A = this chain, B = another copy of it.
Amino acid sequence: MSANSIAFHSDHDHQHCIEQALSSARQICSERKQRLTPIRELVLKLIWQSHKPLGAYELLPALAEAGFNSAPPTVYRALEFLQSQGLVHRIASLNAFIGCPSPDHSHDGCFLICTGCGTANEIEAASAMRDLQRQAEALGFKTQHQTIEIAGLCPNCRESAAE
């Protein structure tokens, strides 16, 4: 089943998503002997609570409310850690961050970002990447990492727009 399309289904049990993501993150960090500190965990939770990618500065008020320091470096450091562990991705075209639904294995992700409601959804870009890699290699270019983001209309917003 397409766990990948879940963000576009407004009626799913998102509380479950969040808890699953957090428990999975705890396990991953423990296995890798990395420290998922309270700030890092809170930032991850805040990001997962939203289906829209969140900007770094959107996280600050919630951090302050939880009694933490809330200056930019705090949140950027947490985000950097979460990215380094593959727990969140940065969406370059939005300057925003979103939780990764499959942080346990490395993968080539592509984000479908709705220009109507802002919701984003990660899908697998492995076969598209194989194609691009082939071209790149033909030019002698050695791939390190990639940014693949598609803006468009999600099913819900498409319907609203059609009215």
Q: For chain A, give the interface size range.
A: 35 or more
Copy total for this chain:
2
Contacts of A80 in B (CB 8 A): none
Among B129, B142, B150, contact of A153 (Cβ-Cβ < 8 Å): B142
How far is A72 from B137 in the complex, measured between Cα atoms in Å?
38
Contacts of A121 in B (CB 8 A): 139, 141
A23 interface hit (Cβ, 8 Å)? no
Given contacts A112-B139, A125-B132, 14 further A-B contacts (CB under 8 A): A8-B140, A8-B141, A92-B92, A92-B147, A123-B132, A123-B135, A127-B131, A128-B132, A132-B148, A141-B155, A141-B158, A144-B152, A144-B153, A147-B150
